[in-house]
Amino acid sequence: MDWIHQTREFLGHWGSEMGQWTVILFRITVIIVIAWLIRRALHKAVGGLRHHLTKGLDDVEGRKRAETLGRVIRYLVSVVVVVVATMLVLSEIGISLAPILGAAGVVGLAVGFGAQSLVRDYFSGFFMLLENQIRQGDIVTLAGQTGSVEEVTLRYVQLRDYAGHVYFIPNGQITMVINMTRGFAYAVIDAGVSYREDMDQVMAIMRRVAVELRQDPEFGPRILQDLEMAGVNEWANSAVVIRARLRCQSQENFVIRREYLKRLMQAFDAEGIKPPAAT
């Protein structure tokens, strides 16, 4: 009869434990399902917001920037939801979170000291994308290097200079951005002539060349305004430097400047005005 009594006690104890584990498993399942639903809902909300912001936007780079930010925000949402759900599940199965949080704090502190530059790169990249400071195809100066932007990520910016050299610049090293192709640009012209030349005549020729350039069917549409004449800018050792500028479409200032200088040299030759080195 003792073994019958012991069997009943064992079955009762086993049934009680099974009932507890069933409740725990049910709670864990509920936590996982709710976490999955919250994650999915937040992802949809981020996607809807991105779609609303880019709706009707013709700027391809603007859409790419919005997509990149959307991916970053979705990733952060997923990390937060998974961490919170994991902590709740561990609490349900009776694992104390205090030692884990303490160890995680120590490890996180050590990793933080070792990965400060990496974290700085990602934060800088996030805000550069958020503020739309740089876009693919822009001509910029970053960390002392000038070139065309080929790629912008949260980690680095890829530049290619005029010689074809490629630079990978970590975002954390970018303290100032000089963007030379945002909205419009200026083709700045410094024309040096001999001291014996008539400055009024020289400036009149420069204006005439600018008018002719604006009437050119190939180059004219790229120029936004008439020539702005600043006047005599410098008394150099052997030349008087006259400065002017043409307002151009973004990234067209280099082409316009070269074409203008070529035509200006031809006009100077036709009028008998020689560069100082040729006098």
Do 9 and 100 belong together in one domain? yes
Domain containing residue 171: CATH number: 2.30.30.60
Domain boundary among 80, 114, 148: 114
pLDDT interval class at 194 (50, 70, 90): confident
Domain boundary among 126, 161, 179: 179
Of the candidates 101, 77, 68, 88, the one whose C-alpha atom is nearest the C-alpha of residue 24 is: 88
| Domains contained in the chain, number | 3
Do 85 and 110 belong together in one domain? yes
C-alpha neighbours within 13 Å on the C-beta side of residue 259:
19
Q: What is this structure's pTM? A: 0.58
Look at residue 238 and tell me whether its pLDDT is greater than 80: yes
From residue 181, alpha-carbon distances to 5, 228, 235 in Å are 89, 19, 30
pLDDT score recorded for residue 197 = 87
Give the tens place of pLDDT for each residue, 76-92: 788 888 888 888 877 77
Angle, CA 148 vertex, CA 225 and CA 61 arms, to 5°: 80
First to last CA, the chain: 128
Torsion of CA 69, 128, 140, 142, to 10 degrees: -130
pLDDT score recorded for residue 201 = 92
Of the candidates 253, 228, 231, 258, the one whose C-alpha atom is nearest the C-alpha of residue 242 is: 231
Full 3-state SS string of 213-241:
HHHCCCCHHHECCCCEEEEEEEECCCCEE
Do 109 and 11 belong together in one domain? yes
pLDDT interval class at 7 (50, 70, 90): low
Residue 126 lies in a domain: no
Give the tens place of pLDDT for each residue, 197-210: 889 999 999 999 99
Give Cα 56 distance to the centre of its chain: 21
Higher pLDDT, 145 or 50: 145
pLDDT interval class at 249 (50, 70, 90): confident
pLDDT score recorded for residue 64 = 64
At how many degrees (to 10) do helices 116-131 and 60-92 cross? 130
Look at residue 168 and tell me whether its pLDDT is greater than 50: yes
- Give me the chain's average pLDDT, please: 79
pLDDT interval class at 279 (50, 70, 90): very low
With 0-12 / 13-18 / 19 or more C-beta atoms within 10 angstroms meaning exposed / middle / buried, residue 251 is middle
Whole-angstrom Cα distance, residue 277 to residue 261? 16
| Helices (runs of H) and strands (runs of E) counted in the chain | 6, 8
Give the tens place of pLDDT for each residue, 107-163: 555 555 556 677 788 788 878 877 778 877 888 888 888 888 888 877 888 999 888
Do 246 and 168 belong together in one domain? no
